[in-house]
Structures are given as C-alpha cells and as structure tokens.
Structure 1
Amino acid sequence: MNIKHLQVFSAVYETGSVTRAAETMHLSQPAISKSLAALEAEIGYSLFRREGTGLQPTPEANLLIEDISEFLHGFEQLTASFKRAGRGDRGLVRIAATPGPSLGFLPGLVAEFMRQNPRTNVSLKIRNSASIRELVATGNADIGIADTGLQSPRYDSQPHRMVCLCAVHRSHPAAALDVIQPEDLAGTNWITLGQEHETFHQLASAHQQAGVQFNSTLTVDSSIQALLMVELGAGAAVLDPLSIRLFTTRNKRDNRDVVLKPFQPTIYESIDVHSVNARPMSAAARSMLLYILKALDA
C-alpha cells in the first residue's frame, strides 16, 4: 500500500474537496484524483461520494480515518527520527574514561552536549586504562579516554599532551609565587600517582637537576584523590588540567584551600582518546567524539 495514497485520503477527508486537498499537498487535482482512485481500486470499495460541489466520506472511510491518521502521525515521527539520527542528535553514546577525566572534564562537557542533543542517551563509565582500551577494542564503548599506552589496530587513537599545574595548600609559602619550582617545595611531601606514572619520573628528574631531595611519601590512584589530600595539607601535587576542572568549578563556589600554579620545569601528562573501529560509529558518537576533541584542543 502506497503511503502517498493514504496521505491523499487523509487530506481529502479533512478538506472535503479534491481541490482543497491538492492545494494542501501542493499537488495537481488530477494527481489527487488518480491517487484516490488507485487506493479505492486496491481496497475494492469507494471512500467518498460526490454531493454538490464536495465529497462526503463513506461509512467505510469514517471507520478508517482514525487508524490512518494514527499511522500517518507515526510515520511522520519516524521520518523525523531518521533526520535527527542523521544529524547525530539521537542515539546512545558510550564513553569510558579514567577517574580524572570522568569526574573533572567530562561531566560538564556531556551535560552541554545533551542540552544541544536532548534525545541522545550517554553512558559514562569510570575504568582503568587497560579496561578502557579493551572496551573500545571490543565495541563495548564508542569513545575512551585513557593514559597513553600501547597503540592497537583494534581501535583508533588520538594522543594529547597536557601541561600540568602544581597544587599546594594556600597556607604554604609557595602559594604566593607566580611560578613554583622544585626548590620552592624543598622539604614538602609530594603526592603522586605512583612510580609507573609519567609525571613521577619528570618530577624526580626536575628535583635531581635542581639538587633538591624528592620526597614522594603518598601515592594515590587518581588526581581527584591527590587534590583532596592537598586540600587536607598532606603535601603538594602536579595534576593534569582535565582533573583540575572539577576543583576549579567547585572552588569558585566552596572557597577551598588549594592553590594552583604553573610549575617549572614544565611537567607533562599524556592521554589517548580512543574510538571504536570494530563497527561504524553512530552519528551521535561521531558528534560526541568531535565535541571532546575540540574541547581538548581549546
């Protein structure tokens, strides 16, 4: 059954005239009459009878109009859904990220993306880097943000290198400096992400070159933990800008006790943004990926 024939039937039923139906649908009168005749021939009975200058629906037409109107409304919604899906504003986007980006960087970004794409569903999971790479490789996540690691043909990767900031308690003398150097924190305990993390080795090298002892006394699993420990006066830390975003947003509201300053020599932290290639990405996932990459480059 031709959808156009049903649309013509509905227009004629609502207007009571081939002429007005043609005007409504921007078609010629012969096209309306031909379509209506084709529908009647297909179903085997008449839908309208002529009375004066207009058309009156038959009892059969009166029985059909409600179902046909409901069907056409559903068809219009489906057509609109196809268009929204093509624009990337409908669908499911699955993101997996390490704790820092998950808590500091992504919440605001995802919230803004969903405001712009209100019919898109987003799943955000916190995982370690190895799990993130496996989720993306197997197609169980569309996008992953992880510490820099092994590249693989099982997913696409885009590296990003970030300049870290130094976090100290506001009571520390170094909090008043414009730039903090290793000698400014002599005798201060350092809170780190462990010896396997790239920032640890850069810090150790910076202290060695400055001739200052590197006191790494507290190891934590995430930059968010490190920030909380700095706030409690447990030491200093160098942290990536993605994790710091949570703190800087809350700091404006809560007047917290952590001060962030540039550190010299510069300490870098690298991340990889992974995307699935085991299957085609949805339009929504592609839009989210571009949104993330643009924010990282800002």
Structure 2
Amino acid sequence: MNLSYFAAFRAVMMAGTVSGAAQILGRSQPAVSRLLDKLEYELGVQLFERRKGLVTPTPQAHALLTEIERAYVSLDSLRTSALRLTKGEVSEISVATMPALGIDFIPYALSQYHSDWPNIKVTLTVRTSARVEEYAAAQQIDFGFAEMPYRRSGFKVEVFSTAPYVVAVPESHPFADRTSLGLEDLSNTRFISYSAFAPGRNLFDQASRSSGVETDYTYETNLSAPAYSMVKRGLGVAIIDPFTAVLQKSEQVRVLPLAPTIPFRVSLIRPETRPSSPAMEALIETMRELKERVLSELPV
C-alpha cells in the first residue's frame, strides 16, 4: 500500500478539509482527493462522508487515525536512532509523561538541565499513563513517567514517587482552617472529582467504600490542573496530585493532607532496548533532585 495515501488521509484529518490538506502536502486539491479515493478503495471502507464540498470523518476514519499516529511515532523514533548512529552520540532525548508531571514539573526540570546540557534536544510528549506505557513497550521513547498499574511488558520500572494525594480547598472555604481532611468531609461539601477513567478515581472509590463514605461530585475532570483551577475559583474542593499542588501554588487555595493517605504512585519506565547515555542519566538525576525539593513543600 502506498504510504502517500496515508499521508493524504492524515493531512485531511489534521486540516479538516481537502484544500487545507493540499496546502500541508504541497499538492493540488484534486490530487489529494484521488489519494483518498484510492485509500478507501484499497481498504474497502468509507472514511469520509462527502456533502457539498465538505468531508466528515466516519468512525472508521478516527480508528484508522489512531493507528497511523502510532506509525508516525515509530517513524520519528527511527529518525532519531538514525541521527544518533550518524553522529555517534546522543543529541536528542525523547520523554513521554503523564500530565501531572508534564504540565509544570518537567518543564521546570528542563530549565535547570539546559544550563549544563545546552546542545541536547529534548522532545516532551504529554499523554495519559496508558499511552506512555504503550510508547515504552513499543520502544519509541527513551524514558517516561506513568501512574501504576501496568498492563504491558518490554520496559523496566523504577519507583519515582509515592507522595500522597492532597486536598485543595478555596481560601475562603470553611475547611481552609483545618489541618487535614477526611473522606467524610468531602461528602459534606461541593466536591470536584476525577473522571471515571482516571487512575486516581479508582483509588478514591475503593478508599471511600472501605471507609463506608459516599461522595458525590459537583464537577468532574480527568486532570489535576483544571481541578486546581476550579478550586481557585471557588467551585469546590478537590483531591489533586502533589506535584500540581506545589507547582500551581496560589494564595487563593489551601492545600491540606488527606486522611487516610492515598499514595500517588509514579514510576520511571525505561524501554528495554533503548540504550542509556550520560546526557539522559543527567536529565533523570535533575528530575529526581527537583522532585525532592518540590515534595518537601507539601503540608504534613
């Protein structure tokens, strides 16, 4: 199958129109349309609904895009490996991470790392823990950070942090003067919960059932960062990860310990076939040192 078919398909999905895809690819609009027609013919599947010049992706198109994006990640990994062989040294490090560390923590670490390793290119990809695990199993990254548990093999796992989740409370909230909060407290106020598919949600549901506490949420989100922002704007209280709690610190929010303690288990995962290097080990060590400084600011 001609790879140009997939390039045309991916460009249309990215641009939303055939004309936009033609600009991305530097080809004519009729040429892109022909490539799409050939792809659909060879697959025997309709990928787009065409009405009055508009193309609307079908469910099959979205499923195909997921597989194509994986292929492009593999191609990028191949390019990186070839560059390393050509130069005989590591010039680029590929890192994938869960959002809790990718939004603030790793950019902070990179700002410190750059002064000692200014010529190292670092590619940071922020994805869900499940996707980071998938990249590591496919040997497509140098290392990554993900929340346990794991469902694949092909990588080594090291514990990076088990610091506990904490509770973020609006500064004006009646709970703001407390020294800690329990699950029963969360059932008696407006609560911002993790989405059902977030790893932390399962932990909290299990802890609530074990404690005989029923919590109901007012708002729901899959990440700590928007939950913290909701708290800052007085929408309720939220359980958030410790890295977000410290690095997004605001005078409008109080951060309190949660009882019982629920660990936020983050692991460093390393693909088995990707070689290490002094530059990569230096970056990991920078992250470990920063982690200790950040977590030392948590309330006890």
TM-score range, shorter chain: 0.5 to 0.7
3-state DSSP class of the match of 1:162? Answer: coil
| Partners of 2:227 and 2:135 in 1: CA distance | 27
Deviation at 1:267, TM superposition (A): 2.0
| Partners of 1:280 and 1:213 in 2: CA distance | 48
3-state DSSP class of the match of 1:163? Answer: coil
1:267 aligns with 2:275: no
| Partners of 1:136 and 1:283 in 2: CA distance | 20
| Corresponding residue number in structure 2 for 1:190 | 191
Deviation at 1:123, TM superposition (A): 1.3
3-state DSSP class of the match of 2:181? Answer: coil
| Partners of 1:95 and 1:205 in 2: CA distance | 31
Task: Tell me: CA distance 1:203–1:154, structure 2 relative to 1, closer, same or farther (3 Å).
Answer: closer
| Corresponding residue number in structure 1 for 2:232 | 231
| Corresponding residue number in structure 2 for 1:42 | none
1:217 aligns with 2:218: yes
Deviation at 1:246, TM superposition (A): 2.7
1:277 aligns with 2:272: yes
> What TM-score, normalized to structure 2?
0.61
Deviation at 1:168, TM superposition (A): 1.0
| Partners of 2:221 and 2:263 in 1: CA distance | 18
| Partners of 2:114 and 2:290 in 1: CA distance | 15
User: Which amino acid is the alignment partner of residue 229 of structure 1?
Assistant: M
Contact conserved, 1:198 with 1:269, CA < 8 A, in 2?
Answer: no
Task: Tell me: CA distance 1:258–1:226, structure 2 relative to 1, closer, same or farther (3 Å).
Answer: same
Gaps of 5+ in 2: 1-86, 294-300
| Partners of 1:210 and 1:226 in 2: CA distance | 24
| Partners of 2:138 and 2:129 in 1: CA distance | 14
| Corresponding residue number in structure 1 for 2:118 | 118
| Corresponding residue number in structure 2 for 1:100 | 100
Deviations 1:69-93 (A, max 9, x none): xxxxxxxxxxxxxxxx99x9x7211
When the two structures are aligned, how many residues end up with a matched partner? 206
Moved over 6 A (4+): none
1:1-298 equivalences under 5 Å are 91-150=91-150, 152-159=152-159, 160-207=161-208, 212-248=213-249, 251=250, 255=251, 257-296=252-291
| Corresponding residue number in structure 2 for 1:71 | none
Across the aligned residues of Structure 1 and Structure 2, the Cα RMSD in angstroms comes to 2.6
> What TM-score, normalized to structure 1?
0.61
Structure with the greater alpha carbon radius of gyration = 1
Deviations 1:137-160 (A, max 9, x none): 333211111121325441111133
| Partners of 1:210 and 1:149 in 2: CA distance | 23
User: Which amino acid is the alignment partner of residue 240 of structure 1?
Assistant: D
| Partners of 1:138 and 1:282 in 2: CA distance | 20
| Partners of 1:166 and 1:127 in 2: CA distance | 24
Task: Tell me: CA distance 1:208–1:140, structure 2 relative to 1, closer, same or farther (3 Å).
Answer: closer
Deviation at 1:169, TM superposition (A): 0.8
3-state DSSP class of the match of 1:118? Answer: coil
Deviations 1:212-237 (A, max 9, x none): 54112322121101111111222211
Task: Tell me: CA distance 1:138–1:175, structure 2 relative to 1, closer, same or farther (3 Å).
Answer: same
Deviation at 1:102, TM superposition (A): 0.4
Deviation at 1:206, TM superposition (A): 4.7
Query: Greater shift after overlay, 120-129 or 198-207?
Result: 198-207
3-state DSSP class of the match of 2:265? Answer: strand
| Partners of 2:185 and 2:154 in 1: CA distance | 45
Deviation at 1:282, TM superposition (A): 2.8
| Partners of 1:212 and 1:130 in 2: CA distance | 29
Task: Tell me: CA distance 1:122–1:198, structure 2 relative to 1, closer, same or farther (3 Å).
Answer: closer
Query: Greater shift after overlay, 192-201 or 103-112?
Result: 192-201
User: Which amino acid is the alignment partner of residue 262 of structure 1?
Assistant: P
| Corresponding residue number in structure 2 for 1:26 | none
